[in-house]
Amino acid sequence: MSMTKTRDIFGPFRVAISGLVYTFRTQRHMRFHVYMVLVITLLGLLLNWRLREILILLFIMSLVLVAEMFNSAIEAVVDLVQPTYHPLAKFAKDIAAGAVLISTMLAIAAAILIQIGENRLEEIRLSLTGESPNLTVIQRIVLGSVLLFFVVIIGKAIGKRGMLLKGGLVSGHAAYGFFLAGTATLMTDNALVAAITILLAVIIAQSRWEAKIHSVFELTLGATAGVLMALVLFGLLPK
């Protein structure tokens, strides 16, 4: 009787460990995430992060591993139930992969914020909320790129066609092309340089139209978003 109870107690643990080992052996992304956990933990120790910071990061990175395991499990079940292509099967896999992406981005953001530190974050906050934000050109470009990324993603989410990296309501290529063109135009007094950058942005947009990835309306939305972002960061904000 005692042997049966022992098997009942340790059986689920053996099954769980078997699942961990199988996922690690068969899923390349899982191995990558595990290696990254080890690397980031070692970096945290070398960079003298506090114990609280390391624990927070380990907790967030564990969410990445859990999301990856759920992703692998969902893919296996979908392939078992629907071995041939089906839009709903693809939809289920895409959602699971999206969960992994969100958790990974959260872990990266947490690592960056921990490394920056509270003091530096407070300096950045004061710089942004002051009467005259003092941002360098590189900081403005990085800030604009990040904000534009969210604008494009939200636009693609609102639309009913296309994918994250292809198609969609707002053209990311046009948005970034015209953002950089607008930035160059506002920062230079050379009309030739401005004309060349605008021409390159138009060529980028035109290539997406010729490839039938975006319509003229979608390209116009992307270009408008890029130009407005450049105007706000390099035209309205104090130099």
Q: Which tens digit of pLDDT belongs to each residue from 43-71?
A: 778 878 888 888 888 888 888 888 888 98
Distance in angstroms (rounded) separating the CA atoms of residues 112 and 43: 12
* pLDDT surpasses 70 at 2: no
* pLDDT surpasses 60 at 42: yes
Q: What is the mean pLDDT of residues 117-141?
A: 69
Query: Of the listed 53, 68, 118, 131, which one is catalytic?
Result: 68
Listed range (76-90, 104-118, 171-185, 199-213) with the worst mean pLDDT: 104-118
Listed range (23-32, 46-55, 125-134, 182-191) with the worst mean pLDDT: 125-134
**Positions of E strands within 95-186:** none
- pLDDT score for 163: 61
* pLDDT surpasses 90 at 179: yes
- pLDDT score for 181: 92
Distance in angstroms (rounded) separating the CA atoms of residues 147 and 159: 19
* Alpha-carbon separation of residue 182 from 4, 135, 189, 195 (angstroms): 73, 17, 13, 10
Residue 68: active-site member: yes
Which of the listed CATH numbers 1.10.287.3610, 1.10.287.610, 1.10.287.620, 3.40.50.300 matches domain 2-116? 1.10.287.3610
Q: Which of 166, 55, 60, 169 is nearest to 105 (CA)?
A: 60
- pLDDT score for 238: 63
Q: What is the mean pLDDT of residues 161-187?
A: 82
Q: Residue 109 carries which side chain, given as an amino acid letter?
A: A
Contact 37, 65 (CB under 8 A): yes
183 contact partners, CB below 8 Å, separation of at least 6: 140, 141, 144, 230, 233, 234
Q: What is the mean pLDDT of residues 126-145?
A: 73
- pLDDT score for 53: 82
Tell me which of 40 and 142 has the higher pLDDT.
142
Domain extents in the chain? 2-116, 131-236
Distance of CA 229 to the CA centre of its chain: 19
* Alpha-carbon separation of residue 208 from 166, 175, 197, 219, 221 (angstroms): 10, 12, 17, 8, 13
Tokens of 37: 């956990």
